[in-house]
Amino acid sequence: MDLTDIIVKSEEKYISSVESFFLEKWGETKLWSHDLSHHRRVWNYAKELLQYIDIPGRLFIEKLLIACYLHDIGMAIDQREKHGIHSKKFCESFLLNKSIDPADYADLLEAIENHDNKEYIEFPVSSNLLLLLSVADDLDAFGYTGILRYADIYMQRGVSQDNLGRMVLENSEKRFRNFEKAFMGIPK
């Protein structure tokens, strides 16, 4: 089975249920920068990145899909920088609803919990799951949409207008350096 087939099968298996779960838990949260459209874009970036690594197998891709859709769901209850712990708890609930033992998906839960480490100090796991999730999430911080997304979240966090531009630029620079570091060996 080639990569495209694995992705299609994974999407058939999970997209509907993970999007429904997201919408149910997100509820009336007023944070457009991290709504379902952000998570869809992150998944699309992840699918592009998968083209440049060895095909890791169907289970890895299913975990990556779930991670892309649930990494920021914790912002429904906590919009601070360290929201990953809440996202992890929501993901555990999703897995249990699918009759999946969360212990069997420890790497997924660890990636979701730690994706919000944007200082890019060594990742706490040696898995490509966290790396791909982090880079796909980073890619959604660029361009017009990305800059507006970060202006929105920083304003939600009470950052003053005087500091807003500087913080958005610093955030973008860190994310771009992480992308370069992770994929510098791939000319495309």
Asked if residue 4 lies in contact with residue 125, where contact means CB atoms within 8 angstroms, the answer is no
* CA–CA gap between residue 109 and residue 125 (Å, rounded): 11
Contacts of 81 (CB under 8 A, 6+ apart): 116, 118, 157
What's the pLDDT tens digit per position in 160-179?
A: 889 988 888 888 888 888 88
Mean pLDDT, rounded, for 87-110: 95
Across the range 57-82, mean pLDDT stands at 92
Percentage of the chain beyond pLDDT 70 is 95
Burial 156-168 (b: 16+ CB within 10 A, else e): eeebeeeeeeeeb
The mean predicted confidence, pLDDT, of the chain is 88
Note the pTM of the prediction, 2 decimals: 0.88
Q: Is the pLDDT of residue 141 over 60?
A: yes
